Structure 1
Amino acid sequence: MRNKNFNIVVIGQIISLFGNAIQRFCMSLYILDLTGSAAIFSSILAISTIPYILFAPMAGLLADTVNRKKIMLYLDFISAGLMAVYSIILIGGMDNTIIVGSVMFMLSIIYTLYSPAVTACIPQIVEKEDLEAANGIIQQVGAVVNLTGPIVAGILYSLVEIKTIVIINAVSFLLVAILEVFLDIPDLKVKEKINNPLTKSTSEMTKSFYYLKEKKKVVLGIIISYGLTNIFVVPILSIVSPYFIKIRLNMSSAVYGFSEAVFVLGMIIGGLLITTKPKLFNMKEIHKTMYPMVAAITLMATAAYFAMENNYIVLGLYSLGGFGIMLSLALSNVISLTYMQKEVKEDMLGKVSAFSTAIATASVAPGQLIYGQLIETNINMHYILLLTLLLSICVVTFIKWNAGRIDLDEKTRSAVLNETIDEIEMV
């Protein structure tokens, strides 16, 4: 795509996401190695989601009032500084569980403020007819980076100490910040001066909810589906997978890295499909993109049930299941995000994006805690996966019902328009 600003955003995402992929992967293994408990591991990860809930209202307000370039630029510089300080702590041998949790907590704050700005700037720098392709490219870039990230991270974690990985991440944030200096994103027209940002941001979050409830019910349904998926499906990848592969199957960090790379390969394929063949997919049939997910969870449950002496066969089947889940999520996320960007008016897009992020991330913690406790009670893994299968079918049913309301909304709009025309003609 011949667009300087979009290309800068893409390159910045490549560098930043690569550093994040390595950091996220290694920190997860680092916490699991420190604790050795699925319950403690999931609790720490759950606590790190709290900032998403607390700061999401302010994030939407920032994205709709402050220049989005400045938001991304300043936050990347802050991230680089945070990683630099943490690397000094690691070098000095002063690290502990509390510090790890604190660093993850602060990174979560930064991500919460950063994400709506990136999402909201895309419609501002590309033409409307290029939105779907642009979102597909962003999704594909993230998938490619996340594919190589776990592989590199698994090898790095096996060969070097965590402090080296943190330093790499600090450098990646710094490079992105320097690159973002050359972005050209115009200021937004702010209609009113804000005296109390926190009160205003909370008010805007409430306003976003009522706006969606009254005028964009399908978009609200999409956001709810994000939450349901994060509670009942995503923990398979974030909580169950590292524990099952590292502890139950007794695989190395490098092997787990390759397994997670297979998961991400599903996102790459999904991104390629939505980018090269966008006409094959539409919002009204978005539930069909979730069918591979249901089949994948079935395969994972089967692999866990028919445990074999050769753990690599079990690992292969389980990894293929993760591939299917990520394929479905990649397709559905791009389709739903594009629909939201087209349906929501520009001056509300940042607020709605922040509201969406708040709901999605608030639902992560309950899912992580639930699955962590299920594992800790020593319930057989295939029972956990069978329960997930049933719940995923319920989620897909809800997504299908929500998509079916698009036709109803269109009929309602048409009826209102016809009534207005009739009234004008009568006058």
Structure 2
Amino acid sequence: MEFQITRKGFSKDFNLMVVGQIISILGSALLRFALSLYVLDITGRADLFAVLFAISSIPILLAPLGGAIADRFNRRNLMVLFDFVSSVIVFIFLFWLISDSSSIVFIGIVMVLLSLVSAMYTPAVMASIPVLVEEEKLEQANGIVNGIQALSGVAAPVLGGILYGMIGLKVLVVISGVLFFLSALLEMFITIPFNQREQDGHIIPTLINDLKEGFSYVLKQSFIFKCMILAALLNLLLTPLFVVGVPIILRVTMQSSDTLYGIAMGLIDFATILGALSMGYFAKKMGINNLYIWIFVTALLIVPMAISVMPIMLTIGYYPSYIVFVISTLLIAMIITVISIYVITIVQKETPNENLGKVMAIIIAVSQCMAPIGQILYGLLFEVFSSKIYVPILIIGVFMVILALATNRILRFEERNN
């Protein structure tokens, strides 16, 4: 199947996929935020929603299955199917709402189903990017897709909060369902190269064999395996810092007001988006041989973050500590976004098209599973050192230095072997 990629920009098919992503991700983010407010409204208990959110995250473990499916079937058709299924789930949920039901269990089922569809959907998208763009633009393309995901995390609370108060949950559910349906329609006009692979026997054992093949491929390909470990360790060390550490420091240690807390968290989200969208610029300056430098710079930026919460700094005044902490955090968020996208890109370049879906899904599943482990460890560290909050931050910095040295040794050795 032939396809065209323009020299000056991205192909029509990639642009259509991006627009479809914007519509689909916005619909999903709006619904998740609206459901959070709805659960709090009808129960008044945040812990119930926390449990629902934890349960709805479990389907990410099935991402490798989504990768196997993405490598076996037409990826364009899969995107259309998954968005259409999401639309159907949302409209079924709407009919249930209209009947004035308020079962938390049913809300949990809806969240799990949508999360399951998302786990199947993401590998199809990530595996499609390398065949829709030129290799030299792959980093920029991945940055755009990641930027859209980050932007949805910022826009959804703002839009969701406004719309939920103005039009209510039912209308928001309708909007979300329509967005999924529009995304499915748009994706029908995308052309993604697809070569039908021979299938021996029933589809279930075929997919199981494909999964075994995917895990075997990742384990045998030393470079890809090391990139997966790097992605997992970065997620273990730094993602919980932003999810657990930053809120605790701003609200508890610094006792920031609602306004200053909101400004800081908003700026961090903006830094993540900026890092993703500027990937095309940074890609020209990055390489396997200098990746460790980027990680080492991140470790160095953790030092001023730790200094900002030391007692001597806090006694100087609130604003100096706040400014130093926020600036160092913003730079770390931006750099780690660039590193993450670069690692994904080099894996895409090294992986044959027939294994792209499985490999991407395995890396996503492994790295994302590390974040909850890190969050638990961070919670314990910040509790033990609640009076000396700079100690766990410095511990993170030490581990980042070790990771930088290990990255330099392992990946540079891998480059020499290649």
Same fold by TM (over 0.5)? yes
| Other-structure match for 1:330 | 337
CA distance change for structure 1 residues 100 and 229 in 2, over 3 Å: closer, same or farther?
farther
1:223 to 217, 228, 231: 228
What is the deviation of 1:172? 2.1
2:18 equivalent to 1:13:
no
Alignment of 1:126-205 (within 5 A): 126-156=133-163, 161-197=168-204, 199-205=205-211
2:55 to 47, 50, 56: 47
Q: For the residues of structure 1 that align with 2:154 and 2:106, how far apart are their CA atoms?
A: 28
Please, which moves more after superposition, 55-64 or 79-88? 79-88
Please, which moves more after superposition, 292-301 or 42-51? 292-301
| C-alpha contact (below 8 Å) 1:228/1:395 kept by paired residues | no
Q: For the residues of structure 2 that align with 1:224 and 1:288, how far apart are their CA atoms?
A: 18
CA distance change for structure 1 residues 17 and 261 in 2, over 3 Å: closer, same or farther?
farther
Q: What TM-score do you get using the length of structure 2 for normalisation?
A: 0.80
- SS of equivalent residue, structure 2 residue 278: helix
1:79 to 86, 108, 118: 86
2:283 equivalent to 1:278:
yes
What is the deviation of 1:335? 1.0
| Other-structure match for 1:418 | none
2:115 equivalent to 1:108:
yes
- SS of equivalent residue, structure 1 residue 186: coil
| Other-structure match for 1:289 | 294
| C-alpha contact (below 8 Å) 1:46/1:365 kept by paired residues | no
Q: For the residues of structure 1 that align with 2:387 and 2:283, how far apart are their CA atoms?
A: 36
What is the deviation of 1:312? 8.8
Alignment of 1:32-43 (within 5 A): 34-37=44-47, 43=51
| Other-structure match for 1:420 | none
Q: Deviations over 1:136-159 (max 9, x none)?
A: 332344444444344334544666
2:68 to 41, 52, 61: 61
Alignment of 1:386-405 (within 5 A): 386-387=391-392, 389-391=394-396, 393-395=398-400, 397-398=402-403, 400-405=405-410
Q: For the residues of structure 1 that align with 2:35 and 2:298, how far apart are their CA atoms?
A: 27
Amino acid at match of 1:232: L
| Other-structure match for 1:269 | 274
Q: For the residues of structure 2 that align with 1:97 and 1:242, how far apart are their CA atoms?
A: 28
- SS of equivalent residue, structure 2 residue 228: helix
2:355 equivalent to 1:345:
no
Q: For the residues of structure 2 that align with 1:381 and 1:23, how far apart are their CA atoms?
A: 36
Q: Deviations over 1:14-41 (max 9, x none)?
A: 222333344445556666784345xx66
Q: Deviations over 1:336-368 (max 9, x none)?
A: 111101111222111111211221232233334
Amino acid at match of 2:290: E
Structure 2 runs not aligned, ≥5 long: 1-8
What is the deviation of 1:330? 1.6
CA distance change for structure 1 residues 95 and 300 in 2, over 3 Å: closer, same or farther?
farther
CA distance change for structure 1 residues 50 and 24 in 2, over 3 Å: closer, same or farther?
same
| C-alpha contact (below 8 Å) 1:42/1:369 kept by paired residues | no
2:124 equivalent to 1:117:
yes
Alignment of 1:289-308 (within 5 A): 289-291=294-296, 293-294=298-299
CA distance change for structure 1 residues 316 and 225 in 2, over 3 Å: closer, same or farther?
same
What is the deviation of 1:232? 3.3
| C-alpha contact (below 8 Å) 2:385/2:392 kept by paired residues | no
| C-alpha contact (below 8 Å) 2:27/2:176 kept by paired residues | yes
CA distance change for structure 1 residues 239 and 88 in 2, over 3 Å: closer, same or farther?
farther
| C-alpha contact (below 8 Å) 2:299/2:400 kept by paired residues | no
Q: What TM-score do you get using the length of structure 1 for normalisation?
A: 0.79
Please, which moves more after superposition, 131-140 or 298-307? 298-307
Amino acid at match of 2:45: T
Amino acid at match of 2:54: A
| C-alpha contact (below 8 Å) 2:55/2:112 kept by paired residues | yes
Structure 1 runs not aligned, ≥5 long: 414-427
Q: Deviations over 1:273-323 (max 9, x none)?
A: 321342112233223334564466555555666679x98988776654553
What is the deviation of 1:62? 0.7
| C-alpha contact (below 8 Å) 2:199/2:206 kept by paired residues | no
CA distance change for structure 1 residues 259 and 70 in 2, over 3 Å: closer, same or farther?
farther
2:219 equivalent to 1:209:
no
What is the deviation of 1:206? 3.6
State the identity as a percent: 28
| C-alpha contact (below 8 Å) 1:75/1:114 kept by paired residues | yes
